Structure 1
């Protein structure tokens, strides 16, 4: 990994997790990539609830704006940036990759098609910091808003796929119940990237980064990024 540097700066991995995912701990993708020598930054869409009302019919704009703002800060620390989007973060990752022309994109269980609506509701359900009976209506309404905005986010991502030209890796688990794994084929077949790969993991569910094959996923992500960045540096004449 030491050779994948330029002007003293390293490759950065901008990781967008699922709605209310956690980036902490020593058994995460972020931690693994740091161990391989990458700079990493991890965020979740729900983070923006700290600065805006969760009961917002257009909250997906806040999800995108928050990710854009954090990416703008992160790029200054890196030679180049790879966006890694997990679950709903994959939809946001597609937006970032198209708008900012990042050097590579990895989607992990990005939800284009849904198989289990109840499971999707659980995935998007808003959880207030303080639970009380007075918050019940707020939870229901904000979750409905999340569902509405999720649909808007899917539609936007589908429109942007044909504009993607960066190297792409699509990762999809096959034991997933919430997302129809044909979502992976849709993403793979609708991008214009010359360098694109697709990888299925047969033993994992939706939360693949915490499942039994997570180490294989981490290794696959690392291998793809090294390959993409080596190609970039070769074109630029650095290796």
Structure 2
């Protein structure tokens, strides 16, 4: 199945020795983080933003994948970054934040995480019905495009594949159970108004990780897809500062 125009993976080779694995959200594509990736690359970072399995084609394809497929694809890209860079970070939006957390749990050598509205649970009552509904209903209306900025567009499915969504719920449980294994610095951006991911997600992450450095920044003028919204420039600049500070510190420690 052909990849949608604009959904292609992003790979930029930098000169600083720092690398970033950039992970997009559920039903979305690298388009939602491409500008972020280009900003990081302009600052000298090597950037890889893969198109996760089942994404960027048809929503039916996503229903044929599971969370282990998305995670494995991200881990493969992480291995490639390790071969290119001395210091490696993982940044993620929404489900991309879930992937970032799981990678940090499994790979303690990662330098740090930047999470944008990460998801690890949901308070929607209908979620309890997903294991049953997903066996009889393939998809419901999508949740893409939660952006406050007029004219901004997220390239994502307009349907939410339920079998894949049920798998995402299992991914959340696995990730939440091991949050204490995260010791890396965490910079978490949370939109003040998010119609997709509830504030409890950020609280669970910040309370659950063991990181000595964990910072939350509230984005006042953005909805869920903050990487395409009003606060994106501040988010991009803050993530570059975070990366450069930690990369510089690690370099000094190895001298």
TM-score class, shorter-chain normalisation, is 0.7 to 0.9
Mark the runs of 5 or more structure 2 residues left unpaired by the alignment: 1-14, 128-139, 145-155
Distance 2:207 2:222 in 1: 23
> What do residues 7-37 of structure 1 show as CA deviations (whole Å, max 9, x unaligned)?
x761001100112434359971001011111
Judged with a 3 Å threshold, the aligned counterparts in structure 2 of structure 1 residues 83 and 159 are, in CA distance, closer, same or farther, namely same
The CA deviation at 1:184 is: 1.1
Count of residue pairs the alignment pairs up: 214
Superposed CA RMSD: 2.9
> What do residues 149-194 of structure 1 show as CA deviations (whole Å, max 9, x unaligned)?
1111111111121001111111111111111122112111111111
Mark the runs of 5 or more structure 1 residues left unpaired by the alignment: 1-7, 129-138
1:62 partnered with 2:69: yes
The CA deviation at 1:53 is: 5.8
Match of 2:41 in 1: 34
Match of 1:23 in 2: 30
Match of 1:100 in 2: 107
The CA deviation at 1:69 is: 1.3
TM-score with structure 1 length normalisation?
0.79
Judged with a 3 Å threshold, the aligned counterparts in structure 2 of structure 1 residues 233 and 15 are, in CA distance, closer, same or farther, namely same
* SS of equivalent residue, structure 2 residue 98: helix
Which residue, 48, 73, 96 being the options, matches 2:80? 73
The CA deviation at 1:231 is: 2.3
Mapped contact 1:9–1:79 kept (Cα < 8 A): no
Comparing both structures, which one devotes a greater share of its residues to helix?
A: 1
1:222 partnered with 2:229: no
TM-score with structure 2 length normalisation?
0.74
**Runs of 4 or more off by more than 3 Å in structure 1?**
24-27, 46-50, 52-56, 115-118
